[in-house]
Amino acid sequence: MLFICLPDTPETEGLIGEREISLLPPGAVIVNVGRGHVLNEEAFFKALQNKHLLGAGVDCWYKYPADVKSRYNTPVSAKFDFGGLDNIVMSPHRAGSVGLPATERFRMAALAELFNAAAEKGFASMPN
């Protein structure tokens, strides 16, 4: 499992790409609660699409709507159709919000189920 909690800076943009994702064992899970651009969008999408990654949970986007108020009600804006994948849980950069509406609670519950499934299956490489 890889947790990404990095800011979006010139040094972190694209830090995790195809090579880094390929070093993860098959069936790994990526959770990005930092910034979208740390993780190469195309490499991430392809790894989810071809099931190299068991799944992912993201609380950040690659592009945000210009209108701040619409950010919480607008579907993810990206070059690739992440919403068409069945192995990703997405929230609009507010997973820690208090008083989550039902849809957000369902998304977070789905992410918890993904983690539980990964824990039951185990990983190819476990730390001692």
Average pLDDT, the chain: 81
The domain locations on the chain are 2-121
For position 25, what pLDDT does the model report? Answer: 97
Sheet holding 88-90, edge to edge: 2-4, 28-32, 53-58, 88-90
Q: How far apart are CA 76 and CA 61, in angstroms?
A: 7
- Listed in order, strand segments (DSSP E) in 51-96 are 53-58, 88-90
For position 74, what pLDDT does the model report? Answer: 55
For position 117, what pLDDT does the model report? Answer: 74
* Domain at 2-121, CATH class: alpha beta
pTM, two decimal places: 0.69
50-65 pLDDT, tens digit per residue, is 999 999 999 888 776 6
CA distances, 48 to each of 75, 98, 101, 106 (Å)? 19, 29, 27, 21
Of the candidates 50, 8, 28, the one whose C-alpha atom is nearest the C-alpha of residue 115 is 28
First vs last C-alpha separation in the chain: 15
Q: Is the pLDDT of residue 35 over 90?
A: no
